[in-house]
Structure 1
Amino acid sequence: MAITLTALLFLIIAAALGAGGVWLAILGGSWYYVIAALAFLVTSILLFRRRSSALLVYALLVIGTLGWAIWEIRFDWWQLAPRGGVIILLALWLLTPWVRGRLTRADAETASLGAAPLWLAVLVALGVAGYSMTQDPLDLPGQLSREAVTTTPDLGGVPNDDWHFYGRSLYGQRYSPLKQITPDNVGKLQVAWTYQTGDVRRSTDVPETTYQVTPLKVRDTLYICTPHNFVIALDAASGKEKWRFDPQVKDNDDRQHQTCRGVSYYADATVAAGQPCAERVYMPTADARLIALDAANGQVCPAFGDKGTIHLETGMPYNPAGYYYSTSPPVIAAGKIIVGGAVNDNYSIHEQSGVIRAFDINTGALVWNWDSGNPDVTTPLPEGQKYTANSPNSWSISSADEKLGLIYVPLGNQTPDQLGAGRSANVEKFSSSIVALDLNTGQMRWVRQTVHHDLWDMDVPSQPSLVDINTASGPVPALVGPTKQGDIYVLDRRSGEPIIPVEEVPAPGGAIEGDHTSPTQPVSGLTFMPRPLQGKDMWGVTLFDQLACRINFLKLRYEGRYTPPSLQGSLIYPGNFGVFNWGGVAVDPERQVMFGMPTYLAFTSRLVPRADVPAPGAGTKGSEQGLNRNEGAPYAVVMGPFVSPLGLPCQTPPWGYVAGADLRTGKIAWKHRNGTVYDSSPLPLPLKVGVPGLGGPIITAGGVAFLGATVDNYLRAYDVTNGKQLWEGRLPAGGQSTPMSYALGDGRQFVVIVAGGHGSINTKAGDYVIAYTLPK
């Protein structure tokens, strides 16, 4: 019975591989699967006949598969395993007494001829597998210089022990000058305190409900916000709650995002210390309000705006609730609070404006507005007039240089992201760019576009980091701008001109009728863009889902980076998840190096003619994945990750790295796979595959970088010099946020991260704020 069932199994495998293999070959892919199907078929026939020569044929299949796999992908365990795993398991089954023993009795004279070669083939394959486990051909070892390039870095004027802004200072460096924690002692980190906000995931929440906040620290107090926009003050030493404020934000199904990345802090020098609202915390809400709170007690500051509140829907061309809100902390600089906002991607062409507005920090009066649809007129919009509808918006975090009098704003796209017909000249100019605006007037000083005629949702997602860089001509005030497509722009922040060269390279054409593509696209000399995908880069847990991914890969349109969306479906790689997203990178202004978390996930993008779009209903309104309706446009779009039938990425791992680069030379020094499948696989195995993530890193002057972000629930510490992981702490929920670091008066250095999970990548939800420190 065992041998009959085995023969039948081999016949089924032969049929599956044969059908898929022929399809793949017709599409122009590898012929291996057809050959393997024939080998399984012959083995099956011989098994039915109980001939020992079945073992010899199968031995040839094992050796052939091994040779083919090594030829395609060298000695990478994570790519070898799906190619040979099932085949080796079946080989071991064939060698059991239940199969080989029966073959021997039926064909005693030739039994050994089949068993010996099969045993040898299996041993060779296992040897190669063992060797490949010790290799990582995709790893880039190396070192950054340990030496400080400057001993007087500009840290933005924030006290060393504090963290006053989202990126610690207006410069957005995400760099702490604290040195108590070092590569030598970081392994001793332990939990100092844990606080739970009580703001937990609700059944009525939108799918994109996330907890992304980076706390601020001023003297002895931390300030945080929560996904539902509670503002909470905590004691920095103990984590005990001092006060909380609930803005009473109502649920709204039309809201695409429900999150808060941070609050903004300001100390008013015109108000005596200890007086009401002498220090303030500003909270942007999911229902388009900006609220000023007394940092001492959480009470609303009535002198600001309309009884403590600015209504950000003022001047907007439309007023559908939930279509405009702020998820990122505003910039406070030069006596102003400067606010952008998020709009719902791909819901409708009737979107709110992406205007950038500056309000007086004390009164809330509108000082200037920069509307990319009318960029030269920045005086406050007269009452009754409206800003330009559906203009590129800034949903991320801006940076500022008060000495130069400039704010640096990362901009996104006009909705729909994937359709470019009919865009205005200003939309074409400002989409997917970094724009420098005068802090006092809002007038544009310069703009640097990172994608021309963006059809891929490659908005600039990250806060620019400002750092002075030594060049052959002397120190230059620089801007480091990470992008979704993997380029790191290193620009002179006075002019926007490149310090590390940027060149225009040819890009794929062939947009849909009525649209066009840019013939060239910019590429920075410092880039983490991936090499183009090939059929051999398709992955799976087994050779069957790998075969399915190879077929789907060849069915999609793909001509490398910037392949335009299409009716047949296009592969977008990197996808709009980004090589870098809102977490950005961390820069060390002393060593003039950066630490980042490049992520690699391919997405698909398929245009759907309006006549074929189903009527609105549950799950069809629009989101960042699935069907995006683009109401009012000629096409909707279906988009999402490029995954296998098992729901895993179709491209081979690693999908996530940590990396270090020298900002003076533009050279990537090291790059290592990062994170495990512990929380995303059926079995909790700490296999270091290299997983994607959302969140950002920090660097400390002690030479240690900290990063959560990955889809496994850990906070990790790394040696900035070589990228070696030094420590990890288990988190009770997803750590899709950016940590921060501060010190107390007794000299103890703390590292704090918020662990609350992320709706889009399905990490565990929670409401935790966790602080770590060294033992006393």
Structure 2
Amino acid sequence: MTRRHSPRIILSLAALLACNTLLFAAEDEATASFTAAQANAGMAGYAQHCASCHGNELEGFGLVPGLSGSFFASRWGDKTADQLASNVNRMPPGAENSLDRSEYTEILAYILQHNGMNARGDSLPDELEALASLNIPRSALGDGNTQTPAPLLYNSEGPLVSSSRLDSLSPVTDAMLLNPPTDDWLNWRRTRNAFGHSPLNQIDKDNVEELQLAWSWALPQGENMMTPIVHDGVMFAYSYGDVLQAIDAATGELLWSFQRELEDGRAPGMKKGAAIYDDKIVIATSDIHLIALNAKTGTIEWDHKVDGGGEDSFLFRSAPLIANGKAIIGLTGRVAVEGGDFIFAVDMETGEEVWRFYTIARPDEPGGNSWNGLPLEERNGGSIWIPGSFDADLNLVYFGPAPTYDTNPLRQPHPDPNTTRDALYTNSTVALDADTG
């Protein structure tokens, strides 16, 4: 005999199942929470075990990723807490899982608090299984551009001493950049072909052991990866904190010092170096300006604010390249910048932008159909991490845009045979006309 159920019973059962489904969904999407005590303890743990690599403000050093800001939010926002915890547990390098489980959890709580999440009554659990059911909401994470900028401790507001070095500083010409004087180091890699070779031969394998310390100079504390510029016996060192210092290369005497006062909400980042042309030193700042300073006095000649189209996640991670009277440099945006990064040139005389080349090919432009059909806002990468090089004979500058940060949408081929998965111009070398881009 067939059993019949009344419509009321069926509806009630359906409603019960729906409620249970919503309950399970709510449990699956529970927000990660932590106590103030956990975050406070994690601050001390972070300072002891993590800050030396990831920075006091979680900003990252050089190739060490930051643990704050839009990059962090893009990577970990709307992910479960166990994914971030698994990465934290692998630290410190070479000593993974060397801390107590509770210490790792406290550091995780501090990282979340630093990124804008508020402490609540529920403790963050230690077990990865429990963390797997807790979500890190993207909406609760800040943009990371609220760190306190470095205090202005290094501005000399002009020359500190009367120096024959500065008085005799000669303008740097295109001919000098092409073939630098033996004693000079005028580019990031000395010559614009980036060979990094010095013709000096006074020190060799037979006398190198006789070298002794002549002088030393303490750079501003922070991530320093720069190569100094040397011209006519003056060394120009551009360091963390957006500090440019002119130093007598023979004696170590400070001749002048300039520190950029960053725009509100911007924190200092690492520097690769400066560039020199004519009577100007040009630097790329942490708040995305190119600034030209008078090489003899350290005073500002011009200040160019880069138009990022409203995007505030761009960073400079390289030094400018000088070619045909232009300062040429690329930006780094990582995964946070939709549509990728670009290389641009600024006139060294006027400070005005001359041309711009996007390292992510635009749809329906040359190379634009190489992204497997992705719209522009879903393309990313093409960051520029080191300065370019220049072939004066061919009038070409060369840059190496980095790979994309998300290859998953490129895995399956697009049905359109005219659409490829090459993801131009990432993970490649581009040759650009120095005058037009």
How high is the TM-score relative to the length of structure 1?
0.30
The one-letter code of the counterpart of 2:242 is N
How far the C-alpha of 1:156 sits from its partner, in A, is: 3.5
How far the C-alpha of 1:211 sits from its partner, in A, is: 0.8
Q: Does the CA contact (< 8 Å) of 2:346 and 2:353 recur in 1? A: yes
The one-letter code of the counterpart of 2:221 is V
Higher relative contact order (CA 8 A, sep 6+): 1
Aligned pair partner of 1:190 in 205, 212, 230: 212
How far the C-alpha of 1:353 sits from its partner, in A, is: 3.4
Structure 2 counterparts to residues 394-405 of structure 1, below 5 A: 394-405=384-395
Unaligned ranges ≥5, structure 1: 1-153, 202-209, 268-278, 302-307, 378-385, 443-776
Tell me the residue number matched to 2:400.
410
Tell me the residue number matched to 2:352.
365
Cα distance change of structure 1 residues 326 and 387 upon mapping to structure 2, 3 Å threshold: farther
Q: Does 1:223 align with 2:218?
A: no
Once residues 181 and 398 of structure 1 are traced to their aligned partners in structure 2, the CA distance between those partners, rounded to angstroms, is 29
- What is the number of residues matched between the two proteins? 246
Structure 2 counterparts to residues 244-643 of structure 1, below 5 A: 244-249=257-262, 258-267=269-278, 279-301=279-301, 308-312=302-306, 314=307, 316-320=308-312, 323-343=313-333, 345-346=334-335, 348=336, 350-351=337-338, 353-372=340-359, 373-374=361-362, 390-416=380-406, 420=410, 428-442=423-437
The one-letter code of the counterpart of 2:348 is I
Q: Does the CA contact (< 8 Å) of 1:355 and 1:387 recur in 2? A: no
Once residues 285 and 416 of structure 1 are traced to their aligned partners in structure 2, the CA distance between those partners, rounded to angstroms, is 28
Structure 2 counterparts to residues 27-38 of structure 1, below 5 A: none
Q: Does 1:179 align with 2:180?
A: no
Structure 2 counterparts to residues 142-181 of structure 1, below 5 A: 156-181=178-203
Once residues 434 and 237 of structure 2 are traced to their aligned partners in structure 1, the CA distance between those partners, rounded to angstroms, is 26
Structure 2 counterparts to residues 648-727 of structure 1, below 5 A: none
Once residues 434 and 416 of structure 1 are traced to their aligned partners in structure 2, the CA distance between those partners, rounded to angstroms, is 20
More strand by share: 1
Once residues 183 and 168 of structure 1 are traced to their aligned partners in structure 2, the CA distance between those partners, rounded to angstroms, is 22
**TM superposition outliers: structure 1 runs of 4+ over 6 Å:** 386-389
How far the C-alpha of 1:392 sits from its partner, in A, is: 1.4
Once residues 281 and 387 of structure 1 are traced to their aligned partners in structure 2, the CA distance between those partners, rounded to angstroms, is 36
How far the C-alpha of 1:196 sits from its partner, in A, is: 1.5
Tell me the residue number matched to 1:233.
246
Cα distance change of structure 1 residues 432 and 155 upon mapping to structure 2, 3 Å threshold: same
Q: Does the CA contact (< 8 Å) of 2:292 and 2:300 recur in 1? A: yes
How far the C-alpha of 1:160 sits from its partner, in A, is: 0.7
Once residues 214 and 264 of structure 2 are traced to their aligned partners in structure 1, the CA distance between those partners, rounded to angstroms, is 35
Cα distance change of structure 1 residues 339 and 195 upon mapping to structure 2, 3 Å threshold: same
The one-letter code of the counterpart of 1:310 is H
Q: Does the CA contact (< 8 Å) of 1:392 and 1:427 recur in 2? A: no
| % identical equivalent positions | 28
How far the C-alpha of 1:309 sits from its partner, in A, is: 1.3
The one-letter code of the counterpart of 1:285 is T
Q: Deviations over 1:325-356 (max 9, x none)?
A: 2121111111211120112x34x4x4363111
How far the C-alpha of 1:317 sits from its partner, in A, is: 4.2
More helix by share: 2
Structure 2 counterparts to residues 58-69 of structure 1, below 5 A: none
Q: Does the CA contact (< 8 Å) of 1:317 and 1:353 recur in 2? A: no
Q: Does the CA contact (< 8 Å) of 2:380 and 2:406 recur in 1? A: no
Once residues 261 and 417 of structure 1 are traced to their aligned partners in structure 2, the CA distance between those partners, rounded to angstroms, is 28
Q: Does the CA contact (< 8 Å) of 1:355 and 1:391 recur in 2? A: no
Q: Does the CA contact (< 8 Å) of 1:331 and 1:399 recur in 2? A: yes
Cα distance change of structure 1 residues 177 and 222 upon mapping to structure 2, 3 Å threshold: same
Local SS of the residue matching 1:187: helix
Local SS of the residue matching 1:164: coil
Cα distance change of structure 1 residues 388 and 191 upon mapping to structure 2, 3 Å threshold: farther
Once residues 388 and 368 of structure 1 are traced to their aligned partners in structure 2, the CA distance between those partners, rounded to angstroms, is 24
Once residues 425 and 311 of structure 2 are traced to their aligned partners in structure 1, the CA distance between those partners, rounded to angstroms, is 24
How far the C-alpha of 1:310 sits from its partner, in A, is: 1.2
Once residues 214 and 265 of structure 2 are traced to their aligned partners in structure 1, the CA distance between those partners, rounded to angstroms, is 37
Cα distance change of structure 1 residues 173 and 212 upon mapping to structure 2, 3 Å threshold: same
Local SS of the residue matching 1:192: coil
Q: Does the CA contact (< 8 Å) of 2:383 and 2:402 recur in 1? A: yes
Q: Deviations over 1:566-614 (max 9, x none)?
A: xxxxxxxxxxxxxxxxxxxxxxxxxxxxxxxxxxxxxxxxxxxxxxxxx
Local SS of the residue matching 1:175: coil
Local SS of the residue matching 2:429: strand
Once residues 187 and 213 of structure 1 are traced to their aligned partners in structure 2, the CA distance between those partners, rounded to angstroms, is 26
The one-letter code of the counterpart of 1:332 is I
Once residues 245 and 398 of structure 2 are traced to their aligned partners in structure 1, the CA distance between those partners, rounded to angstroms, is 28
Q: Does the CA contact (< 8 Å) of 1:371 and 1:388 recur in 2? A: no
Q: Deviations over 1:748-768 (max 9, x none)?
A: xxxxxxxxxxxxxxxxxxxxx
Cα distance change of structure 1 residues 368 and 185 upon mapping to structure 2, 3 Å threshold: same
Once residues 377 and 289 of structure 2 are traced to their aligned partners in structure 1, the CA distance between those partners, rounded to angstroms, is 17
How far the C-alpha of 1:427 sits from its partner, in A, is: 6.0
Local SS of the residue matching 1:196: coil
Greater radius of gyration (CA): 1
How far the C-alpha of 1:195 sits from its partner, in A, is: 1.0
The one-letter code of the counterpart of 1:259 is M
Once residues 178 and 391 of structure 1 are traced to their aligned partners in structure 2, the CA distance between those partners, rounded to angstroms, is 39
Local SS of the residue matching 2:213: strand
Cα distance change of structure 1 residues 250 and 166 upon mapping to structure 2, 3 Å threshold: same
Q: Does the CA contact (< 8 Å) of 1:406 and 1:438 recur in 2? A: yes
How high is the TM-score relative to the length of structure 2?
0.52
How far the C-alpha of 1:429 sits from its partner, in A, is: 2.9
How far the C-alpha of 1:319 sits from its partner, in A, is: 2.2
Cα distance change of structure 1 residues 155 and 181 upon mapping to structure 2, 3 Å threshold: farther
The one-letter code of the counterpart of 2:340 is S
Once residues 170 and 426 of structure 1 are traced to their aligned partners in structure 2, the CA distance between those partners, rounded to angstroms, is 33
Q: Deviations over 1:654-681 (max 9, x none)?
A: xxxxxxxxxxxxxxxxxxxxxxxxxxxx
Once residues 227 and 356 of structure 1 are traced to their aligned partners in structure 2, the CA distance between those partners, rounded to angstroms, is 23
The one-letter code of the counterpart of 2:251 is S
Q: Does the CA contact (< 8 Å) of 2:344 and 2:357 recur in 1? A: yes
Q: Does the CA contact (< 8 Å) of 1:340 and 1:393 recur in 2? A: yes
The one-letter code of the counterpart of 1:361 is M
Please, what is the CA RMSD of the aligned residues?
3.0
Q: Deviations over 1:161-210 (max 9, x none)?
A: 1100000011111110000000111111111110123x224xxxxxxxx2
